[in-house]
Amino acid sequence: MRPPPSGNCTPSGLEAGGRVEGAEVGAGLPAPRLDDVAGTAQRACRRNSVAANALADEYALIRELLSARLAAGLTQEAVASSMGTTKSVVSRLEATGKHSPSVSTLKRYASAVGRHLQIRLVPDASRPTEASGR
């Protein structure tokens, strides 16, 4: 199960009467309806949830890399030497950011720390499953 996205995904500042509190009616337009605001907020929440889940996955990978290296009692320099690369490459692998390592690089890292890489596709609990008629 993935952690819930951080932050509150509930629209705030809403009146019980279905109108947005403090909304100004300008140019003869009615104040926004609660349903409109709630729908917009829920769409934004879903987008943020996807980003939060992606970040959670990235942090999980980094935790796996670090725990494997530490369990093996190795330094970044030792892993780099075993991989045939530099310490800065290993440092980037173990950090968050825009770096997306290749499967080959992850395999070399795993081998260097005495592990093997396992990649699995698992059902996404947040998406409903559809019965296929094929």
User: In Å, how far are 43, 60, 79 from 113, measured between CA atoms?
Assistant: 42, 17, 7
Of 115, 113, 105, give the one whose Cα is nearest residue 79.
113
In whole angstroms, give the CA distance from residue 42 to residue 65: 34
What is 34-112's CATH superfamily? lambda repressor-like DNA-binding domains (1.10.260.40)
Question: Tokens 């907020």 identify what position?
Answer: 41
Note down pLDDT in tens along the chain; length 134 residues.
444 444 444 444 433 444 444 444 445 555 545 555 556 656 666 667 777 777 888 888 999 999 999 999 999 999 999 999 999 999 999 998 777 899 999 999 999 999 999 999 989 877 776 655 45
Domain range annotation of the chain: 34-112
Helices (H), ranges, the chain: 34-71, 76-83, 87-93, 103-112
Contacts of 50 (CB under 8 A, 6+ apart): none
pTM over 0.95: no
In whole angstroms, give the CA distance from residue 12 to residue 132: 40
